[in-house]
């Protein structure tokens, strides 16, 4: 018996994934499953550019806004939830379409967890700084907020192990205990992947335009409501692009123009890291992966031409 087919639609922030996913889901009878680590949080609809309620009504959408900002999501939790959503889609006769920009989520889904990756320089520096400023017990408390499973196995006074656990979580979004469990099983699906890889200048324009739309739609009020929850700043939702920058404006520490500039800069830097990740990690076997270089969609003519080519590729590899 052949494995069921699933589509991965990946790419950097503001590359047009949601629009393409919606068109493909309507034309192929698909169900869209969120693979973006920030679109999980219900308090961040605007700032994370989640699909609109109107879009969600057009085709089934799963795993959007399903966690409270006070609850730390991670790749291990997401993988389990995504597999359940995919099984539901297949059971309903729909093609699972996993879309997002969190590369680690796709890797966790297709390959499982095997081997602990090296911590990033940024994560190591942050762990050292927090350890020096807060002390091991306080850092352990922060770890417990985002990775309670690992924290429960550590002595709060063991500075070396607490710092290492923080480095791993900050670098990967996956707790050290999960990596150590060594879940290396592959998901039971045949994957076809579409990777959007637009030119940098297109992304810069798209990021700036999207931020202005977010501000017009109420992003400041959304950030103010999030801040009113007095959450631990280590929680993933508090690290969403724009939260810290707009919070600085709301506190009077920045102008709105400066906050917007910093948000665009942070988002642009993140898209570079996303592009680097996708260049070095296979989403699916080469014969089942196609890269679309143009920003989607740039024009109605391009939209129709690319859609036809993409659908033909998906059907041929399905």
pLDDT of 9 higher than 70: yes
**106 vs 280: CA distance, rounded Å:** 13
Region 116-143: mean pLDDT is: 85
What are the structural domain ranges in the chain? 5-114+183-202+275-317, 121-180
Tokens linked to 196: 């959007």
Count of alpha carbons within 13 angstroms of residue 135, beta-carbon side: 4
Q: Which two tokens stand for residue 3?
A: 């494995």
Task: Look up residue 47 and give its DSSP letter.
Answer: T
Answer whether 75's CB lies under 8 Å from 108's CB: yes
Class of domain 121-180: mainly alpha
SS3 label, residue 3: coil
Please state the rounded mean pLDDT for residues 35-46. Answer: 96
- CB-count exposure of residue 259 (10 Å: 0-12, 13-18, 19+): buried
With H, G, I as helix, E, B as strand and everything else as coil, classify residue 15: coil
Using only C-alpha atoms, what is the Rg of the chain?
Answer: 20
Would you say domain 5-114+183-202+275-317 falls under CATH 3.40.50.261? no
Residue 281 has a pLDDT of 86
| Mean pLDDT score, 131-148 | 87
Q: Would you place residue 227 in the very low, low, confident or very high pLDDT band (cuts 50, 70, 90)?
A: very high
Measure Cα distances from 58 to 46, 53, 152, 194 in Å: 19, 9, 43, 22
- The predicted model scores a pTM of 0.82
């Amino acid at each position: 018996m052949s494995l069921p087919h699933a589509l991965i639609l990946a790419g950097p922030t503001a590359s047009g994934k949601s629009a393409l996913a919606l068109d493909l889901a309507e034309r192929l009878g698909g169900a869209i499953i969120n693979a973006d680590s920030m679109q999980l949080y219900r308090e961040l609809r605007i700032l994370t550019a989640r699909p609109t309620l109107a879009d969600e009504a057009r085709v089934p959408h799963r795993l959007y806004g399903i966690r409270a900002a006070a609850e730390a999501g991670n790749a291990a939790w997401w993988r389990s939830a995504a597999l359940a959503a995919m099984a539901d889609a297949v059971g309903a006769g729909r093609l699972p379409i996993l879309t997002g920009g969190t590369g680690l989520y796709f890797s966790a889904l297709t390959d499982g967890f095997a081997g602990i990756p090296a911590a990033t320089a940024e994560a190591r520096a942050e762990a050292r700084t927090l350890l020096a400023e807060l002390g091991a017990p306080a850092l352990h408390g922060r770890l417990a907020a985002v990775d309670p499973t690992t924290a429960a196995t550590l002595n709060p006074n063991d500075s070396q192990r607490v710092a290492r656990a923080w480095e791993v979580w900050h670098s990967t979004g996956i707790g050290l205990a999960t990596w150590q469990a060594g879940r290396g099983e592959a998901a039971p699906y045949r994957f076809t992947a579409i990777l959007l890889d637009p030119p940098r200048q297109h992304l810069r324009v798209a990021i700036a335009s999207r931020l202005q739309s977010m501000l017009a739609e109420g992003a400041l009020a959304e950030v103010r409501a999030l801040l009113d929850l007095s959450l631990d700043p280590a929680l993933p939702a508090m690290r969403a692009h724009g939260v810290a920058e707009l919070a600085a404006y709301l506190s009077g520490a920045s102008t709105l123009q400066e906050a917007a500039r910093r948000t665009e800069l942070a988002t642009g830097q993140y898209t570079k890291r996303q592009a680097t990740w996708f260049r070095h990690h296979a989403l699916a076997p080469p014969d089942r992966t196609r890269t679309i270089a143009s920003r989607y969609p740039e024009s109605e003519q391009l939209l129709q031409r690319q859609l036809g080519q993409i659908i033909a590729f998906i059907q041929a590899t399905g």
